Structure 1
Amino acid sequence: MTLRALWIYQKERFPLARTAPLLAVFSAASIAVSAELAGRPLPGWGGFAAGFAVAMLLFFQMRVCDEWKDLEDDRCYRPDRPIPRGLISLRAVLGLGLASLPLAAGAVWLWHPPLLWVLALVWLWLALMTAEFGAPEWLKARPVLYLLSHMAIMPLIDLLLTGVEWMPGGGPAPGLALFLALSFVNGCVLEVGRKCWAPEQEIVGVDSYSRLWGAARAARIWAAAVLVSLALLLAVAGLTGAFRLVLPLGVAGAVTCLIAARRYAARPDPASAKRVDLLAGLWIFLCYALAGFAPLLTRMF
């Protein structure tokens, strides 16, 4: 394993240029929302550093688990990926994943040791996901249940990130459940959006929502998830006192997504599919930026 191989691997399978900014906003917004909902001051910089570090490490661990779980499918249907084509070995990737475990635990322990229990809960669900909950064939035959069971890890990760604030702060705020629900729905937005493909992009043996439902229905389901996400975002903003700022920006972002969904449904070509994928990520970025930082801006102006 060389540094060049690692660089190419991250670029293809865990692109830091795209992942790091999104997770920085995600982790910081989660901590800020927890404090806003409870009416507590923000924690020190150490809390935000711990949140970002553990978010990056957890999402990398999720990628490593996917590499192990999907190896046979990748060899059969996606031989151009880094491991099947021999760029890097599965053993090396698993080694990096194992090395990241104590780093994540250390980041949590240095901030607030009792939070390790929540990290253990996230790891438990990740292990169950990797094992397909002991019923891989049954679960894969039910793609909607597969999606929902796997996206359940998102509110668990957010429980950990918000816990950076609420666990040492005295407990979770009553409205925190709305923010955790937002994370669950946003996970669905991201997952469905990245698997809305053009017909010529479909790969034999690889599941996509465009193949499962057809492009038009997949677009409608993705648009519906965006609207549910918007509703939850506005509900959180109402509790944090930022509704008037979040409303126009959130609606503008959602309308942009709906226009892209309509164009993809009408003409599911690679360009429209790429637009949906891109906007799924941008919507998530906007959601957490507004949820976490709009209250601060509202007080400033």
Structure 2
Amino acid sequence: MSVSALWIYQKERFPLAKTAPLLAVFSAASICVSATLSGRALPGWGGFLAGFLIAMLLFFQMRVCDEYKDLEDDRRLRPSRPIPRGLVSLRLIVTLGVLSLPMTAAVAWLWYPPVLWLLALVWAWLGAMTLEFGAPAWLKARAVLYLLSHMLIMPLIDLLLTGLEWMPGGGAAPDLWLFLALSFVNGCVLEIGRKLWSPANEIAGVDTYSRLWGPSRAALIWSGCVLLSFVLLVAVGAATGTVWVSVVLGGIGAALGWFSAANYAAAPTPKAEKRMDTIAGLWVFACYAIAGFAPFLVRLF
């Protein structure tokens, strides 16, 4: 298999240009929030590097698991995707995913070996997700429960990433649950946002929230998730001493998201569909940047 084929695969299924910056901010913000809430100094650069590498490897493993469990649906409904069309084989992608497991464990162990317990927890949930918790048909028939059960992996990943700071630091802060809840809701923002399609792009048999709820209702539910995310962002800001920064900057970002959602609901065109996917990613990026870095910026001014 050529390197060029793998390069095309990552552009289509695991775009590094978009994924790496988001995960860099996500992982760094997690460590910063944990330290700020606990009143501890930041760990060394090794902790931030470990967090970024672990996040990248875990999200790649999530993509590999999706490729495995969705293969038959992709062959029937989305044959243009890389694996169904023969660009790369499932065996190759799964092999790369398996090889990434000891790499992830090694990074965690090199930083602080007890973190491996949190990593095992994430892997256990990822395995259960891949098997659809043993009830794939029942779960897929309940879209909201499916969404919530799968998005629970986000606070588990964040528990691991914050654990890079609080496990060697002496324990987690009581208010850390606010940040973990923010990660859960932001996972819903991303997941719903990427499945708000235009009627012209809907594919028979492919589950989207725009098909399930209709564009207007789906946009309203997405906006509600952004509202809850904004509330949690402000709560994290209150705990870290940056409430007004969170209110102002988060409010601007949330307003842009709600404006985009209203436009999509009024005219769910392919352009509006693409905008919703982009704005969902930007909102999550902004949330973590504000929550993680605002306390340090405030100290500079």
Equivalent in the alignment of 2:88: 88
SS of match in other structure, 1:56: helix
Runs of 4+ in structure 1 off by over 2 angstroms are none
Deviations 1:117-173 (A, max 9, x none): 000000000000000000000000000000000000000000000000000000000
**After the TM superposition, which residues 34-45 of structure 1 pair with which residues of structure 2 at under 5 Å, given as runs?**
34-45=34-45
Q: Distance in 2 between matches of 1:272 and 1:90?
A: 32
Deviations 1:163-215 (A, max 9, x none): 00000000000000000000000000000000000001101111000000000
Aligned-partner residue type, residue 185 of structure 1: V
Aligned-partner residue type, residue 60 of structure 2: F
Residue 26 of structure 1: how far off its partner (Å): 0.1
SS of match in other structure, 1:204: coil
Q: Distance in 2 between matches of 1:126 and 1:63?
A: 11
Q: Distance in 2 between matches of 1:97 and 1:65?
A: 8
Paired-residue identity, %: 69
Q: Distance in 2 between matches of 1:201 and 1:234?
A: 36
SS of match in other structure, 2:197: coil
**After the TM superposition, which residues 136-155 of structure 1 pair with which residues of structure 2 at under 5 Å, given as runs?**
136-155=136-155
Q: Distance in 1 between matches of 2:199 and 2:245?
A: 40
Q: Distance in 2 between matches of 1:191 and 1:279?
A: 12
Equivalent in the alignment of 1:12: 12
Residue 106 of structure 1: how far off its partner (Å): 0.4
Q: Distance in 2 between matches of 1:183 and 1:122?
A: 14
The two structures have a TM-score, normalised by structure 1, of 1.00
Aligned-partner residue type, residue 37 of structure 2: L
Q: Distance in 1 between matches of 2:245 and 2:87?
A: 47
SS of match in other structure, 2:80: coil
Residue 243 of structure 1: how far off its partner (Å): 1.2
SS of match in other structure, 1:80: coil
Aligned-partner residue type, residue 175 of structure 1: D
**After the TM superposition, which residues 118-267 of structure 1 pair with which residues of structure 2 at under 5 Å, given as runs?**
118-267=118-267
Q: Distance in 2 between matches of 1:157 and 1:164?
A: 11
Bigger shift: residues 145-154 or 265-274? 265-274
Q: Distance in 2 between matches of 1:285 and 1:257?
A: 13
Q: Distance in 2 between matches of 1:262 and 1:11?
A: 30
Residue 59 of structure 1: how far off its partner (Å): 0.1
Q: Distance in 2 between matches of 1:66 and 1:5?
A: 19
Q: Distance in 2 between matches of 1:107 and 1:138?
A: 37
Residue 247 of structure 1: how far off its partner (Å): 1.4
Q: Distance in 1 between matches of 2:43 and 2:77?
A: 47
**After the TM superposition, which residues 66-77 of structure 1 pair with which residues of structure 2 at under 5 Å, given as runs?**
66-77=66-77
Residue 9 of structure 1: how far off its partner (Å): 0.3
SS of match in other structure, 1:72: helix
The two structures have a TM-score, normalised by structure 2, of 1.00
Q: How many pairs are equivalent?
A: 301
Unaligned runs of 5+ in 2: none
SS of match in other structure, 2:114: helix
Q: Distance in 1 between matches of 2:2 and 2:184?
A: 37
CA-based RMSD = 0.4
Residue 273 of structure 1: how far off its partner (Å): 1.2
Bigger shift: residues 242-251 or 86-95? 242-251
Bigger shift: residues 96-105 or 236-245? 236-245
Residue 245 of structure 1: how far off its partner (Å): 1.6
Aligned-partner residue type, residue 238 of structure 1: A
Q: Distance in 2 between matches of 1:2 and 1:121?
A: 35
Aligned-partner residue type, residue 270 of structure 1: P
Unaligned runs of 5+ in 1: none
